[in-house]
């Protein structure tokens, strides 16, 4: 099957569990196939954890969950060397990070030193424990959930940590009809803790990913699209709404995810619409608004839309 066909199969299976989050599902799929990590922000109870569990089920991958708390230590995530009295040797007790899909639940509940424990793993796909390096499994994806920063008891993620996430996805309340459908399913016996009971099937396996990534890599990008992405980055750095614009990593992310977006739609070339489709989740966590813009009620998404409106798209 082509990537487009596999993506449609993923959406069909996801719909058995998740209702009313089509854009969120699409963006998670784009990030996964682009080998990126995702920060999910939304109020509790909007199916963020369920999304991660379902994704792992559909790609036949290992899944671990870490509940971030103020007393969580880095070793609780990456693991530690433990002394075995019987053999008089140290052995590695691996932490939950040794998996395919890692759900970091409420990541902004933990202090900075624990959040930083993910940095090496997310960027280098390895961890260092007592000077020894341990590679992580392939695929490896961090799906971190975050409560809105205005909630009490949270530690805002530093810019270096935020930049490691390919996308920041906002998970909003479902529409009325979607929420009614959720209630109906639970009334009929649906249980989010028993995904096997709803007939979910694996759509692909980790062994399928090299061919998928080859397909994405072969997507054509014209010079005009490269110029367009560069102009968006430059416009963000000149924007009157922003203190901090997009980094080169933001431009790279925009390129890679635009190629994946095109491939998911069955095209072998990138259009300006592909770039626009992934601009918000790419940029919203990498920019910093000026205080004057915040006072005026400007949001990161609105600032990004203004930037896109001011850059002429290639024909």
**Exposure string (b/e) for 31-57, b if CB count within 10 Å is 16 or more?**
bbbbbbbbbbbbeeebbbbebbbbbbb
Are 109 and 64 contained in the same domain?
yes
Query: Each residue's pLDDT tens digit in the chain (315 positions)?
Result: 789 999 999 999 999 999 888 999 999 999 999 999 999 998 888 888 899 999 999 999 999 999 998 889 988 999 988 888 888 788 888 999 999 999 999 888 888 888 877 877 888 899 888 888 899 989 999 999 987 755 666 777 888 788 889 999 999 888 899 999 999 999 998 888 888 778 888 899 889 999 999 999 999 999 999 999 999 999 999 999 999 999 999 999 999 999 999 999 999 999 999 999 999 999 999 999 999 999 999 999 999 999 999 999 998
Are 24 and 172 contained in the same domain?
yes
Are 39 and 178 contained in the same domain?
yes
With a CB cutoff of 8 Å and minimum separation 6, the contacts of 211 are none
CA 76 to chain centre: 22
Are 38 and 149 contained in the same domain?
yes
The pTM assigned to this predicted structure is 0.92
Domain region containing 158: 3-204
Are 15 and 108 contained in the same domain?
yes
Identify whether 85 is part of a domain. Answer: yes
Q: Are 85 and 125 in contact (CB under 8 A)?
A: no
The number of folded domains in the chain is 2
Give the span between the Cα atoms of 190 and 297, in whole angstroms.
41
The enclosing domain of 223 has a CATH number of 1.10.8.80
């Amino acid at each position: 099957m082509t990537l487009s066909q596999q993506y449609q199969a993923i959406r069909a299976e996801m719909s058995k569990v998740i209702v009313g989050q089509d854009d969120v599902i699409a963006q998670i799929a784009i990030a996964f196939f682009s080998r990126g990590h995702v920060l999910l922000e939304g109020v509790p109870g909007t199916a963020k954890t369920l999304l991660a569990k379902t994704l792992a089920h559909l790609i036949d991958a290992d899944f671990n969950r870490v509940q971030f708390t103020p007393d969580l230590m880095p070793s609780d995530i990456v693991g530690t060397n433990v002394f075995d009295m019987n053999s008089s040797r140290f052995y590695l007790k691996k932490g939950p990070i040794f998996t395919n899909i890692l759900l970091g639940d409420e990541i902004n509940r933990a202090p900075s030193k624990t959040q930083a424990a993910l940095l090496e793993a997310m960027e280098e796909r390895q961890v260092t424990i007592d000077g020894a390096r341990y590679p992580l499994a392939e695929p490896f994806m961090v799906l971190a959930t975050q409560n809105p920063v205005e909630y009490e008891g949270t530690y805002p993620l530093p810019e270096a940590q935020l930049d490691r996430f390919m996308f920041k996805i906002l998970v909003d309340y479902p529409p009325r009809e979607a929420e009614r459908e959720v209630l109906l399913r639970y009334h009929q016996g649906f249980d989010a803790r028993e995904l096997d009971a709803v007939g979910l099937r694996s759509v692909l396996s980790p062994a399928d990913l090299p061919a998928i990534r080859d397909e994405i890599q072969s997507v054509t990008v014209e010079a005009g699209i490269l110029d367009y992405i560069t102009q968006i980055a430059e416009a963000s750095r000149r924007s009157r709404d922003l203190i901090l614009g997009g980094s080169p990593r933001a431009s790279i992310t925009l390129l890679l995810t635009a190629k994946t977006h095109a491939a998911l739609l069955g095209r072998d070339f990138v259009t300006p619409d592909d770039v626009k489709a992934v601009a918000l989740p790419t940029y919203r966590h990498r920019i910093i608004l000026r205080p004057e813009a915040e006072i005026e009620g400007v949001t990161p998404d609105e600032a990004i839309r203004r930037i896109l409106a001011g850059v002429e798209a290639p024909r």
